């Protein structure tokens, strides 16, 4: 028997806890009745300790219970050797896509099976199945893909017989591939296809505009990429669009006419942004102008106002731009969801440019953003939002409680960079203040595909054993779960019985 996550076996050390408890044998003292204490001399107090195991059976049950927990966490499996004699090869199909894949490649799949190929699921244990069983499996469509295809290939490379021909049939969706391309020594032929639902449309977000209409962001997933566009809908519903506006439990919602997506709540809130400039008033003007442009473009109500460090804060607001060299009060931070602060320190002249992170890859800036000066920090956040041409952090993010803090090692000032003069400055600010509003469900809506040349693993001529047997893993976690439940019930029954006696 083997373990997929054997490091969890160190949890067996937890059995020391019940052992210590059972060794701690403290017995109550005995009272002796005497007629007189006249002849009893005073003596020094004596104490005794007894390190003797008590309730041995209960101790064993508790130790076994903890051992079983460690085994379950380690994910045990039994490795069985299978004889490959008479097997022409393997045909692998993902369980979660079996019906569609088999339908797409039916002539090829049937031809391979008739030629003597074995059918296996392309999942962690590579379970052997037959076509009728796989097509009738009601749980196949509910199977969630957890392991990327390249990781499965590495596992297959360790388990598959040497020189055994393998045919792999899968969809070519990009979200099935993560990490580095593996190096394998398999005789592999891999065919892919684009799923029938290669284009999907959904409502990503919606909000009320200042004129009481509804601004709707529509997402479209295609093999070429993911796109967003906006439409304005009259709040009374109107006609000429495939969307329906209604009220549910006092909240406005919008849904598509085809009912393929659950209704989406319409945002009624106003985005609140405070700006504290102190001696950097010009910086604040640039930021406010960009935010006003964002509001006009998105039609999202935005309330921008100047902030004083003497303001009495109450409630919780969206954004604070702390454009000052003063240290911000921690109590002030707690009143905002996101805070951008100017970092102070030694400045250095640089000759580089600013790359505004995700904005640069999703909607590339048209002009380079020159960088002239930068603040040299003593420490930097782990998460990089913007960086310069040398990869050094310009804007980083970390968290304090429920507040995201953006540390800006620069300034919104033309003497430091060309950011505020760049035509894409409002677009960059839009990406910054609303990035969390467009974290769409990639597993559900991402329809990008991977090129055939990109998905192919690196084939190496490694020396593998040439024996006719191969090893197949069968996971037995469920049986240990059953033992764990039985052990828990037995321990509780015995402990309660002891208390009653």
Whether 173 is covered by a domain: the verdict is yes
- Do residues 284 and 420 both lie within one domain? yes
> Whose CA is closest to 225, among 56, 48, 26, 445?
445
Neighbours of 42 (CB within 10 A): 6
Per-block average pLDDT, block size 10, for the chain (501 residues)? 74 78 61 61 54 71 86 78 69 92 94 92 88 81 74 88 88 89 90 89 89 88 88 73 85 85 89 90 94 92 82 79 91 92 93 75 65 90 90 92 94 95 92 74 82 85 53 75 88 79 62
pTM above 0.75, yes or no: no
User: Are 242 and 281 within one domain?
Assistant: no
Cα 310 from Cα 307, distance rounded (Å): 8
Q: Is residue 221 part of a domain?
A: yes
For residue 36, what pLDDT is reported? Answer: 61
**pLDDT score for 166:** 93
Chain Cα centroid distance, residue 233: 34
Tokens of 20: 């210590």
* 289 and 421 belong to one structural domain: yes
Let me know whether 398 and 277 are in one domain. yes
Cβ neighbours of residue 51 closer than 8 Å, sequence gap 6 or more = 23, 25
- Asked if residue 429 is part of any domain, the answer here is yes
pLDDT of residue 375: 93
* Residue 141, C-beta contacts closer than 8 angstroms, at least 6 positions apart: 96, 99
- Residues counted in the chain: 501
- Domain holding 328: CATH number? 3.40.50.880
Q: Are residues 283 and 425 in the same domain?
A: yes
Identify whether residues 336 and 431 lie together within a single domain. Answer: yes
Same domain, 193 and 229: no
Q: Based on the domain organization, do 152 and 120 belong to the same domain?
A: yes
Tell me, yes or no, whether 150 and 96 share the same domain.
Answer: yes
What distance, in Å, lies between the first and last C-alpha atoms of the chain? 41
Residue 183 counted as domain residue: yes
Tokens, residue 124? 């962690």
- Domain match, 282 and 430 both: yes
- Residue at 302 is within a domain: yes
Q: Which domain holds residue 241?
A: 200-268
Long-range contacts (CB closer than 8 Å, 24 or more residues apart) made by 54-58: 54/22, 54/25, 55/22, 55/498, 57/494, 58/22, 58/491, 58/494, 58/495, 58/498
109 and 183 co-located in one domain = yes
Q: With respect to residue 462, please indicate whether it lies within any of the assigned structural domains.
A: yes
- Residues 320, 373: one domain? yes
Domain boundary among 268, 288, 319: 268
Instruction: Tell me, yes or no, whether 121 lies in a domain.
Output: yes
User: How many domains would you assign to the chain?
Assistant: 3
Residue with tokens 């380079």: 368
Give the pLDDT confidence score for residue 359 in this predicted structure: 45
Instruction: Flag whether 31 is in a domain.
Output: no
Give me the pLDDT at residue 237, please: 59
């Amino acid at each position: 028997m083997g373990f997929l996550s054997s490091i969890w076996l160190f949890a067996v050390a937890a059995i020391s806890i019940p052992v210590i408890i059972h060794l701690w044998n403290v017995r109550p003292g005995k009272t002796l009745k005497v007629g007189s204490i006249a002849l009893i001399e005073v003596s020094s107090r004596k104490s005794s300790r007894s390190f003797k195991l008590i309730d041995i059976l209960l101790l064993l049950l508790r130790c076994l219970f903890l051992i079983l927990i460690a085994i379950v966490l380690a994910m045990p499996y039994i490795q069985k050797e299978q004889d490959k004699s008479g097997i022409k090869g393997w045909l692998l199909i993902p369980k979660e896509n079996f019906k569609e894949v088999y339908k797409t490649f039916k002539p090829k799949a049937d031809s391979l099976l008739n030629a003597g190929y074995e059918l296996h699921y392309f999942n962690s244990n590579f379970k052997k199945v037959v076509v009728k069983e796989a097509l009738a499996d009601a749980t196949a469509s509910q199977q969630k893909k957890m392991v990327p295809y390249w990781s499965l290939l590495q596992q297959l490379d360790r388990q598959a017989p040497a020189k055994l021909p393998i045919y792999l049939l899968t969809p070519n969706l990009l979200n099935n591939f993560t990490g580095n391309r593996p190096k394998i020594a398999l005789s592999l032929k891999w065919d892919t296809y684009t799923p029938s639902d290669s284009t999907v449309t959904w409502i990503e977000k919606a909000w009320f505009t200042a004129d009481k209409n509804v601004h709707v962001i529509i997402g479209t997933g295609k093999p070429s990429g993911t796109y967003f566009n906006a439409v304005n809908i009259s709040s009374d519903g109107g006609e000429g669009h495939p969307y329906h506006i209604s009220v549910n439990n006092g909240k406005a919602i919008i849904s598509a006419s085809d009912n393929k997506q659950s209704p989406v709540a319409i945002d009624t809130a106003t985005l609140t942004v405070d700006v504290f400039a102190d001696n950097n008033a010009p910086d604040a003007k640039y930021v406010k102008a960009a935010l006003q442009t964002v509001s006009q473009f998105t039609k999202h109500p935005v309330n921008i106002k100047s902030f004083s460090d003497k303001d009495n804060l109450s409630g919780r607001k969206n954004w604070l731009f702390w454009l000052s060299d003063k240290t911000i009060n921690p109590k002030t931070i707690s009143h905002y969801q996101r805070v951008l602060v100017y970092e102070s320190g030694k400045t250095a002249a640089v000759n580089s440019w600013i790359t505004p992170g995700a904005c640069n890859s999703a909607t590339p800036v048209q002009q380079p953003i020159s960088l002239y000066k930068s603040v040299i920090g003593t420490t930097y956040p782990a998460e990089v939002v913007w960086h310069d041409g040398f990869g050094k952090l310009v804007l980083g993010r970390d968290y304090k409680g429920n507040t995201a803090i953006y540390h800006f090692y620069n300034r919104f000032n033309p003497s430091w960079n060309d950011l505020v003069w760049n035509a894409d400055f409002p677009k960059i600010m839009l990406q910054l203040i609303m990035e969390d509003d467009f974290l769409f469900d990639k597993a559900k809506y991402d329809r990008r595909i991977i090129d055939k040349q990109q998905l192919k693993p690196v084939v190496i001529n490694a020396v593998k054993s040439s024996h006719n047997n191969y090893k197949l893993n069968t996971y037995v976690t469920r049986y240990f779960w059953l033992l764990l439940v039985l052990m828990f019930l037995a321990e509780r029954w015995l402990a309660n019985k002891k208390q009653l006696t």
